[in-house]
A and B are shown apart, each in its own frame.
Chain A
Amino acid sequence: AQTVTQSQPEMSVQEAETVTLSCTYDTSENNYYLFWYKQPPSRQMILVIRQEAYKQQNATENRFSVNFQKAAKSFSLKISDSQLGDTAMYFCAFMKPKTSGSRLTFGEGTQLTVNP
């Protein structure tokens, strides 16, 4: 079974600064997908960024980028130029290849607060 661990329950950062959220996972699979989801206060969870394990290049989406270390089974999220709207719960998630019935396994979550 896959497990996903987020060891930082809470983090805070000043507006405009950079913050990195950590995530480690455990799997015996070679091909899989990793995600970061964001859950703003009282709002729906949305996908921030995805990484396919067979791609060595780290994914980026505007101010969001990942550091994917496959051998170390590490998948951290870097948020640059933090904005107040980045305040949210962030979840790291793992998924085996996209077959029928494939499912996400989530970490415990990291509550990020961006301070003005």
Chain B
Amino acid sequence: DVKVTQSSRYLVKRTGEKVFLECVQDMDHENMFWYRQDPGLGLRLIYFSYDVKMKEKGDIPEGYSVSREKKERFSLILESASTNQTSMYLCASRRQGGDEQYFGPGTRLTVT
């Protein structure tokens, strides 16, 4: 079974803090994705990566950055957390040429 894990299920941070969200997949997938999920808005793509050290902006990259130093790990970074970044963050991975995306359990981030 494909497994996508995220470092925390729940996280509470203060405004202005630097926040790291980690995602690891164990199926050697080339593509990895970070989404945020908000009620009524569905899932919106923040960033994705199709190879090590490669990244592309999604629909809402402002206020975020990413890092992919190893194939299995994709990190989302909030350089200076703000209250409007309070959300559920989902990581996903997909094999190159595949169509099914596998999701992690999500991290519910609260910024106070």
Contacts and interface: CB of A to CB of B under 8 A. Distances in A.
Contacts of A107: 42
Interface in A31-87: 33, 35, 37, 43-47, 50
A90 to B, nearest CB: 11
B99 A101 contact: no
Contact of A43 (B56, B58, B105): B105
Contacts of A106: 35, 42-44
B112 interface: no
Contacts of B104: 44
Q: In the complex, which range does the number of interface residues on chain A fall in? A: 20 to 34
Interface of B: 4, 30-31, 33, 35, 40-45, 48, 50, 56, 58, 90, 96-101, 103-106
Interface of A: 4, 6, 9, 33, 35, 37, 43-47, 50, 91, 95, 98, 100-101, 103-104, 106-109
